[in-house]
Amino acid sequence: MKIKVCVGSSCTLLGSMNILDQLDDLKEIIKEDAENYTDEELEVEAIKCLGFCKDTEEKVAPVVVIEGEPMYNATGQAVMEKIINKIRK
Amino acid sequence: MKESYVDLINIRRQVFAKIAKMAYEGADLEELEKASFEILPGEVATYRDSIFRERAIVEERLRLTMGLNARKPTEYYRVTDGISEVDVDENRFIEPLINVITFACEACPEKAFYVTDNCRKCLAHPCTNVCPTNAVSIGKKRAIIDQEKCIKCGRCRDTCPYSAIVKYDRPCAAACGVNAIESDYLGRAKINRDRCVSCGNCIIQCPYGAISDKSQIYQLIKSLKSNEHMYAIIAPSFLGQFGPLASPAQIFEGIKQLGFVDVVEVSLGADITTLKEAKEFLEKVPHEIPYMGTSCCNSWTIMVEKLFPDQYQYISDSASPMVETAKYIKKKDPKAKITFIGPCISKKLEALREDVKDYVHFVITFEELMGMFVAKGIELSEIEVSDEIQDASASGRGYAIAGGVAEAVKKTAAEIDPSREIKVEGVSTLQDCVKLMRLAKAGKKNGYLLEGMACAGGCIAGPGTLASLNRVRKAVLEFKNKSACNSPLENEIIDRELRRN
């Protein structure tokens, strides 16, 4: 599963590095309980500013894209829940 | 920074970005009256019981970020009262640095041991049996601790087979290594200024974000717009702080795009401090002074000055890396105005010292700098750069991590005089700093070089950081390996005279 975490300036200011740390930890959580998850690999990538925040006046940062689908105002818990629901057996 | 306090961190940083944006745009400061509405729009509270209280607290943050004092809740003030005094292009910082936003404080109860629902009133009830003051009895529903009798030794908690007894403490007070957190008449946190060393650990630990320092970013940005001799010096822990894709050279270039003419690594000053402290140690210990304390961490030196005044003379006379780096720039450009960018808020106080204030003119944190990048629309990872940064030795770059200072001084002293072996000891929490000084005072650390750091893990764990400790540690070690030289004795930028044995 491809997970892209925007680490542009606005997203970094509002916590995208924490989301990256939490995704590292999620890999550990899955490893500890491997038999309950599919063996799909989490491919986490930190990416340059996607420009979502620059096209709008709305608050969108941080942005995380999971399998092509963007999540705005992403929080660690929402991102992890979405991933876990996709790979839990 | 405590990464899991996501909402608090975000509010704090949005305020930094807002003030930085206003400064760059030269906005009318009357707009501050409505800035809290922009940061927290709508009428539904997200963080607290009421949106009005949330906004009032954001207003205090706006004032503190402007460098103003927090308002007294008992008196009428506008958000912008006093604003003309800080609407200037020079540092107008006034103490105190650490401020409790009184109406954001939830007056958490003071330290105690409590019995929770886990208690089953078991037959063995070891909690009652181990209590040295006979304070625990078995009540109708669960064990009861007589708080009058309890001396908070924690034996009952340790022995309970159901984990039914918990220790409770105010997070601010638990974080404070010098017992500077007291209570006001409503039970809210109040800082004892005679003890506080401005390390900022209470700021990062308070789960209500009720404690905050003051910022200088507004005045700094005004100065960047009017002065052409603005230099930035950046602390060794800057690696990895601004996102995993921003390289050191891109960070330096991004800082220049904010309006600075040049950026220098504070690790260069660390190399100079290493050379001076090594020579000072070899010269003075043990004949003139019994041991020597390092001088880099400002909160550690303030702690020694306040709590162990008779030992203060044993702290190294060598200036901190911040000051040495600033002196290096000042020598090249006497008109230089220098901004220290670091993980540390205590440096804001160090810069006020009589012997420092002519060298360091502004101090901001990495978090505040990130707010400036956002305000100016700078994307670090998209900046094109060719140079690599080579101001310092690997040993100077190691200052950011606990133990790095003592290691650098020890190694360099051994290079200068191989016949001497220096014993070193380092600690990195304020609590441990106090313990270490007690031992030193009792004569148990004679002959030692003592490295004290107020933050757990060293500067990489400072209150003004953006990235987690592990992330930064990795990046610092990587950058250390890229240094062109290992020892400050080989650093060609430093005066030959100082590098001579």
A12 at interface of B, judged by CB pairs closer than 8 A: yes
| Rounded-to-integer distance, Cα B32 and Cα B30, Å | 5
Whole-number Cα distances in Å, B248 to A82, B289, B291, B406, B497 = 34, 40, 37, 25, 30
Interface A:B, Cβ pairs < 8 A: 63
Q: What is the pLDDT of residue B387?
A: 85
| Rounded-to-integer distance, Cα B382 and Cα B319, Å | 37
| Rounded-to-integer distance, Cα B276 and Cα B344, Å | 23
Mutate to test the interface with B, among A4, A10, A13, A24 (most CBs of B within 10 A): A13
**291-350 in B: which are within 8 Å (CB) of A?**
none
Q: Do A46 and B245 touch (CB under 8 A)?
A: yes
Contact call for residues B285 and B313 (beta carbons, < 8 A): no
Q: Find chain A residues with C-beta within 8 A of B24's C-beta.
A: none
A73 at interface of B, judged by CB pairs closer than 8 A: no
B382: closest chain A residue by CA: A48
Q: Do B245 and A20 touch (CB under 8 A)?
A: no
> Which stretches of chain B drop beneath a pLDDT of 70?
501
Spatial CB neighbours of B102, under 8 Å, sequence gap ≥ 6: B70, B72, B73, B184, B188, B210
> What SS3 state is found at B307?
helix
On whether the A2-87 domain is CATH 3.40.30.10, my answer is yes
Q: Do A12 and B9 touch (CB under 8 A)?
A: no
Only one residue has tokens 């990489």, namely: B460
Give A17 to chain B, closest Cα distance, Å: 6
- Tell me, what's the ipTM? 0.94
Domain boundaries, chain A: 2-87
Q: Do B244 and A14 touch (CB under 8 A)?
A: no
Q: What is the largest CA-CA distance in chain B?
A: 78
**15-54 in B: which are within 8 Å (CB) of A?**
17
Amino acid identity, residue A86? K
What is the band of A53 on the pLDDT scale with cuts at 50, 70, 90?
A: confident
Contact call for residues B466 and A12 (beta carbons, < 8 A): yes
Asked if pLDDT for residue A57 goes beyond 90, the answer is no
B244 at interface of A, judged by CB pairs closer than 8 A: yes
**40-69 in A: which are within 8 Å (CB) of B?**
46-49
B401 exposure class (CB count in 10 Å sphere: 0-12, 13-18, 19+):
buried
| Rounded-to-integer distance, Cα B320 and Cα B450, Å | 15
Q: Count Cα atoms within 13 angstroms, Cβ side, for A42.
A: 27
| Rounded-to-integer distance, Cα B118 and Cα B431, Å | 32
B254: closest chain A residue by CA: A9
Contact call for residues B212 and B203 (beta carbons, < 8 A): yes
A77 at interface of B, judged by CB pairs closer than 8 A: no
Q: What confidence tens digit (pLDDT) does each residue in B354-402 have?
A: 999 999 999 999 999 999 999 999 999 999 998 899 999 999 999 999 9
Asked if pLDDT for residue A34 goes beyond 80, the answer is yes
Q: Do A21 and B245 touch (CB under 8 A)?
A: no
